[in-house]
Homo-oligomer: A and B are copies of this chain.
Amino acid sequence: MASNRQKTSQPDENSKIVSLIKGRRATSYDVARLAGVSQSAVSRCFKPGASVSQKMRDRVMKAAEQLEYRPNAIARGLITQRSNLVAILVSGRLNLYYPEVLFQLTEELSKVGLRALLFTVESEDDAGMAIEQAWQFQVDGIISASHMSWDQYQTLEKRKIPVVFFNRYFLDKPINVVHCYPASQVSEIISKLQDLGHRKFALIRGPESNMVSRQRCELVRERIRSVRKGNLIEVEGDFSYDSGASALQQILSEAAARPTAIICINDMMAMGCIDEARSIVGLEVPRELSIISFDGIGMSQFASYELTTIRQPIGRMCEAAVGLIVARVERPDQSNEKRVFEGALIEGSSIAAVS
Contact = CB atoms under 8 A, between A and B. Distances in A.
A335 to B, nearest CB: 18
Interface string A272-306: 10111011100000000000000000110011110
A137 B74 contact: yes
A280 B303 CA distance: 9
B303 A71 contact: no
Contacts of A299: 96, 241, 299
A280 B83 CA distance: 51
Interface in A108-137: 110, 115-120, 132-133, 135-137
A60 to B, nearest CB: 17
Contacts of A159: 25, 68
A119 B106 contact: yes
The size bracket of the interface on A is 35 or more
Interface in A191-208: none
Nearest to A271: B302
A78 interface: yes
Contact of A138 (B73, B98, B117, B120): B73
Copies of this chain per assembly: 2
A120 B93 contact: no
A65 B103 CA distance: 36
A174 interface: no
A120 B106 contact: yes
Contacts of A276: 303
A241 B302 contact: yes
A102 B92 CA distance: 11
A72 interface: yes
Interface in A63-109: 68, 70-75, 77-78, 83, 85, 88, 92-93, 96, 98-100, 102-103, 106-107
Given A96-B96, A159-B25, A73 B119 contact: no
Contacts of A98: 99
B120 A107 contact: yes
Nearest to A70: B136
A118 B120 contact: no
Contacts of A275: 302-304
Contacts of A280: 303
A105 to B, nearest CB: 9
B78 A75 contact: yes
A119 B117 CA distance: 10
B120 A103 contact: yes
A303 B133 CA distance: 39
A303 B276 CA distance: 7
Nearest to A96: B96
Q: When A and B form their complex, which 4 residue pairs have the shortest distance between CB atoms, in order from nearest?
A: A275-B303, A99-B99, A304-B304, A279-B303
26 contacts: A25-B159, A70-B132, A70-B135, A70-B136, A72-B136, A73-B137, A73-B138, A74-B77, A74-B78, A78-B78, A99-B99, A99-B102, A102-B102, A106-B119, A107-B120, A110-B120, A116-B117, A117-B118, A241-B299, A245-B303, A274-B304, A275-B303, A275-B304, A278-B303, A279-B303, A299-B299
